[in-house]
Amino acid sequence: MAGTSKDTSDDRLLLYAVRALVTRYCGDLLEAERLIIQYANKGHFGRHAWSGGHIDPRRWGACHPELGFYIPVDFERSVVRHICLPAAQATSYTTRLALDDLLEPYMDRSNTEMREVCLARDDVLSMLRELGLLSLEKSTSEQAQQGQFMSEVELARGLIEIAFPNGEWQTMKPGAVEYACSASKAVKKRLAELKRDMPKRDSFARATGHRK
């Protein structure tokens, strides 16, 4: 099953591409993830698309160990999951049992997985503007550059996954991963530019979701 929250012609970005774009402006991968979840919880991303089950973005990132309920966001795979552990694994066993009894008639006990999660590019840009990371004057002129940037991220990631279909690239050093993109001179040139533009960590690793 696939769905969209609203009909829209806006470009959409998978979660890992959204993270790469936000990281480009905030300068830190973990901070980018935190900001995306924060704004999702505020209901900022009203236009989103997915396959599989649906989980309201206002609940993304929820963590309730006392009840055994978790909604982790996997930016690497662009997946959001609703995890409901058995009552015995909840830290507050009696509270969980009482909750189960109360909600039993209304609950779907199966875990839900929201796959191929995409956000509208305009919603991501408006978040960056609200945070003061992107000015309104620059956003129009830079949107084309951002589109090019994300296209190259997609191309680089695709080339790597074709060269290493079993996921071996995820454990490689950045130099070896870059070698996998040697079929595209344009990508290699852009990788060098990204390394200069993104501070603190290897830019290609951050843009593709690769961790050292």
Q: Kindly tell me the sign of the dihedral angle through the C-alpha atoms of 120, 126, 131, 132.
A: positive
209 Rama class: left (phi>0) / alpha (psi -120 to 50) / beta:
left
CB of 123 closer than 8 Å to CB of 133:
no
Mean pLDDT of 173-181: 47
Can you spell out the DSSP letters for 57-107? GGGTT-EETTTTEE--EETTTTEEEEEE--GGGSSSHHHHHHHHHHHGGG-
pLDDT for 180: 47
49 strand-pairing partners: 4, 118
The structure's pTM equals 0.64
List of E strands, the chain: 2-4, 12-14, 48-52, 63-64, 69-70, 73-74, 79-84, 112-120
Mean pLDDT of 107-116: 76
Nearest C-alpha neighbor of 107 from the set 72, 67, 63, 50: 67
pLDDT digits (tens, 9 = 90+) for 153-170: 666 666 555 555 555 545
| Type of residue at 173 | K
83 strand-pairing partners: 70
Q: Cα–Cα distance between 24 and 87 in angstroms, integer?
A: 41
Cβ-based neighbour number of residue 203 at 10 Å: 22
pLDDT digits (tens, 9 = 90+) for 57-108: 999 999 999 888 899 999 999 999 999 888 888 888 888 888 777 766 556 5
HSE toward the beta carbon, residue 161, CA cutoff 13 A: 11
